[in-house]
Structures are given as structure tokens and as C-alpha cells.
């Protein structure tokens, strides 16, 4: 287990988070709208995970909500797993980089557009690793909206019962879904206690604080149970140029806002 990291040690995570925001803004700017809010809320989560924990080609990475796949494309380029030029095809006709993740999505081992399905696939990966007797880990990224889907809890039940300690869930709690803030539609709290009641360890942290995220993932990986890191986040985080009332699920990015956002990010 790593010791609580110094600021310098976390710089790669911060840089990756910044790159996720900038590359995502550029991808979405070409279309004028898209899943930018997902990248803004999860940038630090993916930054810490990819910079410090996930070992590509060895550990399994699941991005359950395919709307976050834009983060994988950005990470893929940053880690040299895919060609930078491919990002220009994001969401275009005939591209393998679809706006909602598909079977052609690079970088990840599994992504799902139909929400609430990814954790079950991740449980399958973790079971396979156990059957293989390999120390391969499974990192499953899921969203708070997916807690409305019953299948998420079916998977949580199974993983808790079988003590699948090779499974770590990163849960982006951005309180955003298509029809508005999640808490105005259904109550999903208390998130951490719900997971604990299923036999999981749960760590509830500020999802834009890389130090807090690092410490939580460290504990989650070390846990003898399956564990979830709940990252409390905002879909507008990190770009002041966005209107405060922007729809975080599907952000509109007209040219003047896009230019301002990208200029702002490039200035950091």
C-alpha cells in the first residue's frame, strides 16, 4: 500500500485530469454539444485511477455508463494507448470513437450504453480473475444515476456475498441525470451506507480532491471486501466559461463558449 502521497506525487493525476478536460472540450466543441459534463465531473477520478492504479493490459477497466467514454479516449491518448489524430473523428460518421461507448471503443475492457449493466460485467471479470488465480484487478467506473437501475444492486449483492475483493468501484456522484438533479427525481442516499449494507467497504470523498481520491482508492484496493469510492462531483467543474445553469448531462457548447472554455483550459 502506498503512503498518503505528497503533492508532487499526485501531479501526474492532476495533469491527467486537466488533459481529460481539455481534450474532451475540444472533442465536444467540434459538435457544439455533447457529453462534456461527464468528463468535467469525473476528470480527477479517472486522473487518479489511470495515473496511479490501473495497469492497462493487466487490470480490467469497465466504464459502465458509455456516456463517459470520452474520458477513455482522452486517457488513451495521454497514455499512448491510441493515436491522437483519432480524437478528431470523435462522434463522426464511420468513426470507432462513438459518443456513447460501443464494442469498438478502445482503451476500456467493457463499456455499456444501456445503463446499469457494467457492474455485472465487472463482476464477471473479477470472478474470472479469481478462477484464473491471477492478481488482476477490476476497476469499474459507474455513475450515481445507475443506482436507480435494479441490476446495479443485483451485481452489488453478488459481489458482496462472494467477497470479490479484486473489484473496486469508482462511483461518480455528480447528481445529474437527463431530467435534472437526481435528488429531485429519486432519493439514492445514503449512498455509502447502502453499499456497506451489501457487504462492501465504502469511501465517500470530494471527487475533485486528488489527494482524497488517492487515499480512498488506496484503502479500497487494500480492502478485503469489494469496495466503492464515492466521488462527490459537479458536471461544471473546471471551466468557468460555462453558464452556471448549463445542463450537465448534455452540455451545449456554441462556438463562442467553446472558444472561451478551451482558451481558459489552455491557459492553465
Give the interface with other proteins as residue ranges (CB under 8 A).
103, 109-110, 112-114, 117-125, 127-129, 131-132, 150-151, 154-155, 157-158
In three-state secondary structure terms, 107 is coil
Which ranges constitute the DSSP H helices of 92-190?
A: 118-132, 150-161
Nearest CA among 136, 141, 3 for reference residue 69:
141
Rounded to the nearest whole angstrom, what is the least distance from the CB of residue 133 to other proteins in the complex? 11
Cell, residue 130: 479469481
Rounded to the nearest whole angstrom, what is the least distance from the CB of residue 109 to other proteins in the complex? 7
Rounded to the nearest whole angstrom, what is the least distance from the CB of residue 50 to other proteins in the complex? 21
Cβ nearer to other proteins, comparing 120 with 174: 120
Cβ nearer to other proteins, comparing 62 with 97: 62
Cβ nearer to other proteins, comparing 38 with 117: 117
CA distance 42 to 13: 12
Cβ nearer to other proteins, comparing 25 with 156: 156
Whole-angstrom CA distances from 129 to 124, 126, 266 are 9, 5, 41
Cell, residue 116: 446499469
Cβ nearer to other proteins, comparing 131 with 178: 131
Start-to-end CA distance of the chain, whole Å, equals: 32
**Contact present, 102 and 111 (Cβ < 8 Å):** yes
Cβ nearer to other proteins, comparing 116 with 238: 116
Cell, residue 48: 487518479
Cell, residue 34: 455533447
Q: Which residue in the block uniquely carries the three cell numbers 475540444?
A: 26
Residue 133 DSSP label: T
Q: What is the dihedral of CA 122, 125, 126, 131, to 10 degrees?
A: 160
Rounded to the nearest whole angstrom, what is the least distance from the CB of residue 1 to other proteins in the complex? 26
Rounded to the nearest whole angstrom, what is the least distance from the CB of residue 36 to other proteins in the complex? 25
Rounded to the nearest whole angstrom, what is the least distance from the CB of residue 113 to other proteins in the complex? 7
Amino acid at each position: 500500500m502506498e503512503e498518503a502521497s505528497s503533492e508532487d506525487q499526485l501531479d501526474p493525476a492532476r495533469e491527467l485530469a486537466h488533459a481529460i478536460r481539455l481534450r474532451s472540450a475540444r472533442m465536444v466543441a467540434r459538435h457544439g454539444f455533447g457529453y462534456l459534463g461527464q468528463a468535467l465531473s469525473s476528470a480527477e477520478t479517472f486522473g487518479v485511477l489511470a495515473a496511479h492504479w490501473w495497469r492497462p493490459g493487466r487490470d480490467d477497466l469497465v466504464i459502465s455508463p458509455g456516456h463517459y467514454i470520452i474520458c477513455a479516449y482522452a486517457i488513451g491518448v495521454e497514455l499512448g494507448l491510441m493515436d491522437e489524430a483519432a480524437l478528431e473523428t470523435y462522434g463522426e460518421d464511420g468513426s470507432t470513437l462513438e459518443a456513447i461507448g460501443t464494442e469498438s471503443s478502445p482503451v476500456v475492457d467493457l463499456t455499456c450504453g444501456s445503463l446499469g449493466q457494467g457492474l455485472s460485467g465487472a463482476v464477471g471479470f473479477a470472478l474470472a480473475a479469481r478462477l484464473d488465480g491471477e492478481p488482476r484487478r477490476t476497476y469499474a467506473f459507474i455513475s450515481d444515476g445507475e443506482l436507480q437501475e435494479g441490476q446495479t444492486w443485483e451485481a452489488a449483492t453478488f459481489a458482496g456475498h462472494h467477497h470479490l475483493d479484486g473489484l473496486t468501484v469508482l462511483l461518480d456522484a455528480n447528481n445529474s441525470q437527463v431530467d435534472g438533479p437526481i435528488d429531485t427525481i429519486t432519493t439514492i442516499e445514503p449512498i455509502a451506507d447502502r453499499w456497506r449494507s451489501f457487504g462492501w467497504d465504502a469511501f465517500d470523498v470530494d471527487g475533485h480532491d486528488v489527494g482524497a481520491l488517492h487515499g480512498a482508492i488506496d484503502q479500497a484496493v487494500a480492502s478485503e471486501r469489494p469496495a466503492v469510492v464515492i466521488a462527490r462531483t459537479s458536471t461544471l467543474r473546471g471551466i468557468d466559461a460555462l453558464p452556471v445553469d448549463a445542463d450537465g448531462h448534455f452540455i451545449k457548447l456554441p462556438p463562442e463558449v467553446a472558444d472561451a472554455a478551451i482558451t481558459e483550459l489552455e491557459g492553465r
